[in-house]
Amino acid sequence: MPFAKTPTIHINRQTFNEMDFIITDTDTSVANAIRRVAIAQVPTMAIDLIHMQVNTSSLHDELLAHRLGLIPLTSHRVDEFEYTRDCPYCSDHCLHCSVTFELDVQCTEEAMTVTSQDLVNKSAHESQLAASVQPVHFSGEYNPTLSEENGLNGIVLAKLAKGQRIQLTAIAKKGVGKEHAKWSPVCTISYQTDPSVQFNLNKLNTLLSEEAKRALVKSSDECLAIDPKSNQLIYETAFTLGRISLPLDCVKKMTLT
């Protein structure tokens, strides 16, 4: 493939919840393909079937099932699971293609909150693979103690009054986002073209005086520097890697000059 392109990916920032990266030497079609694949074709685990035994709460069965399906599950070993529809070991579901959770809570006080912490992985003792699938209990990256401060641990599913009870069995299966949004591994993903304004440093080094060079460096917001050996204008490493860009005032100043 003589005309094949070799894209380069540089990660600017990566946290538990987000990733910000730059992809270069490629077309926008490739960036859009990455976006679409991440949303719709990356497999994860999610609750798919609910067997409702008891539900005397004010929340309808359908709404409770919907909330359970949207609870994120750890899926770092999802590739080791079979798709239920293609599972060679069973015709319904088994440890090779699913994980079973149970929830059984009853309010004995005035009120109580049912959260994802109440889900118990009943398959954990039967398989290490199944034990790797657990609900993700968090309230957010920026204030992870928010739930604890409010007396809640985990994602809220329902609230019960005294005497009310919820008892159910939930089956988590492997799937992809194009089947249902609950299997999508991302909340949102977007891309944008990043226009890069650069100066012709060879020409600037020829035309500008030393004083003008220092003034330009000062207004460049640390994008430019002066090489101490050659006394020539150079780009800072952060600008070369795309982490910072030339400020608009600096560009306007050189345009007017």
Q: What is the pLDDT of residues 158-184, one digit of tens each?
A: 999 999 999 999 999 999 999 999 999
Q: Is residue 187 pLDDT above 60, yes or no?
A: yes
Distance CA(221)–CA(253), nearest Å, equals 13
Per-residue pLDDT, 145: 55
Query: What average pLDDT does this structure show over 33-37?
Result: 93
The answer to whether the CB of 177 falls within 8 A of the CB of 36 is no
Q: Is residue 1 pLDDT above 50, yes or no?
A: no
| Domain 44-175: CATH superfamily, name plus number | DNA-directed RNA polymerase, insert domain (2.170.120.12)
Query: Measuring CA to CA, which residue among 5, 7, 10 is closest to residue 240?
Result: 10
The total of other beta-carbon atoms located within 10 Å of residue 58's CB is 11
Q: Is residue 208 pLDDT above 70, yes or no?
A: yes
pLDDT tens profile 117-127: 999 999 999 99
Per-residue pLDDT, 230: 85
Query: What average pLDDT does this structure show over 57-75?
Result: 95
Q: What is the pTM of this model?
A: 0.72
- Domain segments of the chain: what residues? 1-42+185-194, 44-175, 201-256
Q: How confident is the prediction for the chain on average, in pLDDT? A: 85
**Three-state secondary structure call for residue 34:** helix
**Three-state secondary structure call for residue 78:** helix
